[in-house]
Structure 1
Amino acid sequence: MTAQTVHSYWITTSGREGFSGSIDACFPYWSFTKTVISICALKLAESGNLDLDATLKGERYTLRQLLKHTSGLPDYGQFSEYHSAVAAKETPWTRNKLLDVALAKGMLFEPVQGWSYSNIGYMFVVELIEATLEKPLREVIADMVCKPLGLNSIELAETCGQFRRVHWEAATDYDPKWVYHGCLIGNAPDAARLLHALMTGHLLQPATMRQMLDEKILGGAIPNRPWTECGYALGLMYGALKSVGRAVGHSGGGPFCVNAVYHFPDVSDPITVASFTDGTAEGVAEFAAERLAEVQ
């Protein structure tokens, strides 16, 4: 069996940088997009345009609960019909059909009475951001995150044509509209620089950053992944790995590739790593990121 190629980029607090694999290739960021959506929502909370703890109109949950996956909303990724439709290369479902399938049995639990990962929750966050600013998410992310940081490779993929920039051939016939909260694409250096800027205080005010890092502890080890403790904050996976201590960031995966974008604050020179590889096992990218954090 041929070993998977992992494309990684790393940057440390002291300013050292390095990479393996391709430095210019374009990758889907998948659920690392949630981290960026959360940054935008939190910046709007900083400016007073959104309230993290106000119950959303007509609903029982708050923005904070959506960002933390404690709203009780289900996730379309739990349904075989969704995965079958993606595999069959069907036209992405309308919003109404998506919600008909996902909400057929109602909420999973009352807000904050449990935890369940929900892409639908982040779709609702995106809709709230767009309605508040009266501009599409692609412009919000560009204005709030990418332009200030000079991250020129990143864009929100909204068409199959845009997705053809992606490194893997399997991306050529994938419709990014299947990712209902949106899917960013870009290179590994820009993914690492984005998270590093967040974790070193260049995107949010200190008080806001403390709220973003307020985690809900979810458990311990996960099979075939490097975690010894895992939790979730606001748009961030937050836990610990045996060899390097705390890890903060997000992994992600789609039908043909996976990624892990993490900051490791406990190593001697805190490091941020973005790793991308093919396949569907997120642990492969996470272990690659851990190994880089160990040796830097």
Structure 2
Amino acid sequence: MAVAVASVAAVAAVVLQLVAEGKIGLDASVDTYLPGLLRGDGIDGRNITVRQLLQHTSGLPDYTDAPALSDFRTIQHRYFEPRELLDGALAQKARFAPGARWEYSNTNYIVAGLLIQKVTGRPVGEEITKRVIDRIGLRHTYFPTPGDMTIHEAHPEGYNQGADGSLHDFSEMDPSMAWAAGAIVSTNSDLNSFFTALLGGRLLPAAQLAEMRTTVPAELLGPGIRYGLGLQSKPLSCGGLLWGHGGTIPGYRSRGGVTDDGRAASITVTTIPGDAGAQHMAEALDAALCH
């Protein structure tokens, strides 16, 4: 069993389902549903839309840059409330004015998780399970409950490399530090099934899937990469696009997705690679889909 992360795309899918149900407005402000939640230096939830959260164009700073998360080894077994994570972001200055540009921030999906909970009245993990995991029959995918620090099935151990080159085992950890931005545990085969179902229209009506696939440039992720609503598109060497999303949590990194003609591939590694390793992952994924 491999460990991978599909939280962002799953959370975006749930939000877009709620849009389709008329419970959330994609271009409504965050304050419409969570009044007063986002306030800080250059941060105002009255000026940030739900679309900008899902698209990473909100300008919200990344809570993972907060001092409390500077060394994952010190928080490996610590439980975080979502609001505690958000406070780490709100203590920072806004990165830019909402809509001004694209920049990935995990904070966007913490807020999206809180939005789901406010609108549905249910924990985000329960909504993801009901609306995504159970709906398409993902047998090896789950959202960890509070206090659950273990991977449920057979799995490889995952390691983070310290500045001194030493490896630290993160196979057992409290994933609450990632919450709606990255706590889901899955397998490569389930990830292939998820993205196939998502892009095949089994999770969203056509109108919301079209919104999800409407992209803006995200060159910070690599040449030609564009970002929609919780979904990336990447050009393939053989033509066409790979639609999917990567995920990283201490000890594990996954990359994968599907093509418009239905080819699917996912790769997970058990140490967090540097730039060269990330390039090898990208090349391997391209080769799997093109050759």
Alpha-carbon offset, residue 135 of structure 1: 1.1
More strand by share: 1
Alpha-carbon offset, residue 287 of structure 1: 2.5
Structure 2 CA distance for partners of 1:101 and 1:123, relative to 1, 3 Å? closer
Structure 2 CA distance for partners of 1:259 and 1:168, relative to 1, 3 Å? same
Which of 119, 131, 151 is the equivalent residue of 1:163? Answer: 151
3-state SS of paired residue (1:167) = coil
Corresponding residue number in structure 2 for 1:194: 194
Which of 28, 35, 38 is the equivalent residue of 2:9? Answer: 35
Amino acid corresponding to residue 124 of structure 1 in structure 2? V
Amino acid corresponding to residue 167 of structure 1 in structure 2? H
Which of 80, 102, 105 is the equivalent residue of 2:92? Answer: 105
> How many angstroms apart in 1 are the aligned matches of 2:66 and 2:236?
30
Corresponding residue number in structure 1 for 2:104: 117
> How many angstroms apart in 1 are the aligned matches of 2:132 and 2:80?
29
Alpha-carbon offset, residue 161 of structure 1: 3.7
Structure 2 CA distance for partners of 1:283 and 1:87, relative to 1, 3 Å? farther
Corresponding residue number in structure 2 for 1:87: 73
Structure 2 CA distance for partners of 1:151 and 1:105, relative to 1, 3 Å? closer
Which of 262, 267, 272 is the equivalent residue of 1:270? Answer: 262
Alpha-carbon offset, residue 229 of structure 1: 0.6
Structure 2 CA distance for partners of 1:97 and 1:232, relative to 1, 3 Å? same
Structure 2 CA distance for partners of 1:243 and 1:216, relative to 1, 3 Å? same
Alpha-carbon offset, residue 155 of structure 1: 0.5
Alpha-carbon offset, residue 133 of structure 1: 0.9
> How many angstroms apart in 1 are the aligned matches of 2:230 and 2:154?
24
Alpha-carbon offset, residue 212 of structure 1: 0.4
3-state SS of paired residue (2:143) = strand
TM-score, normalised relative to structure 1: 0.80
Query: What fraction of aligned residue pairs are identical, expressed as a percent?
Result: 25
CA RMSD of aligned residues (A): 2.2
Alpha-carbon offset, residue 91 of structure 1: 2.0
Amino acid corresponding to residue 263 of structure 2 in structure 1? I
Corresponding residue number in structure 2 for 1:219: 219
Q: Would you say 1:237 and 2:232 are equivalent positions? A: yes
* Residue correspondences, number: 260
Q: Would you say 1:64 and 2:51 are equivalent positions? A: yes
> How many angstroms apart in 1 are the aligned matches of 2:66 and 2:242?
30
Alpha-carbon offset, residue 96 of structure 1: 5.1
Amino acid corresponding to residue 272 of structure 2 in structure 1? T
3-state SS of paired residue (1:248) = strand
3-state SS of paired residue (1:202) = coil
Amino acid corresponding to residue 48 of structure 2 in structure 1? Y
Alpha-carbon offset, residue 264 of structure 1: 2.1
Q: Is the 8 A contact 2:62 2:107 kept in 1?
A: yes
Corresponding residue number in structure 1 for 2:163: none
Alpha-carbon offset, residue 37 of structure 1: 0.3
Corresponding residue number in structure 1 for 2:284: 288
Amino acid corresponding to residue 107 of structure 2 in structure 1? I
Q: Is the 8 A contact 1:27 1:166 kept in 2?
A: no
Corresponding residue number in structure 2 for 1:3: none
3-state SS of paired residue (2:7) = helix
In the TM superposition, what whole-angstrom CA distance separates every residue of 1:76-132 from its partner, at most 9, and x where no partner exists? 233465131x12236244545534432223211111012221111101111110111
Between stretches 279-288 and 174-183, larger displacement belongs to: 279-288
Amino acid corresponding to residue 265 of structure 2 in structure 1? V
Which of 255, 262, 267 is the equivalent residue of 2:250? Answer: 255
3-state SS of paired residue (2:244) = strand
Q: Is the 8 A contact 1:228 1:241 kept in 2?
A: no
Corresponding residue number in structure 2 for 1:141: 128
Structure 2 CA distance for partners of 1:291 and 1:127, relative to 1, 3 Å? same
Between stretches 282-291 and 32-41, larger displacement belongs to: 282-291
Q: Is the 8 A contact 2:188 2:267 kept in 1?
A: yes
3-state SS of paired residue (1:183) = coil
> How many angstroms apart in 2 are the aligned matches of 1:95 and 1:36?
17
3-state SS of paired residue (1:261) = strand
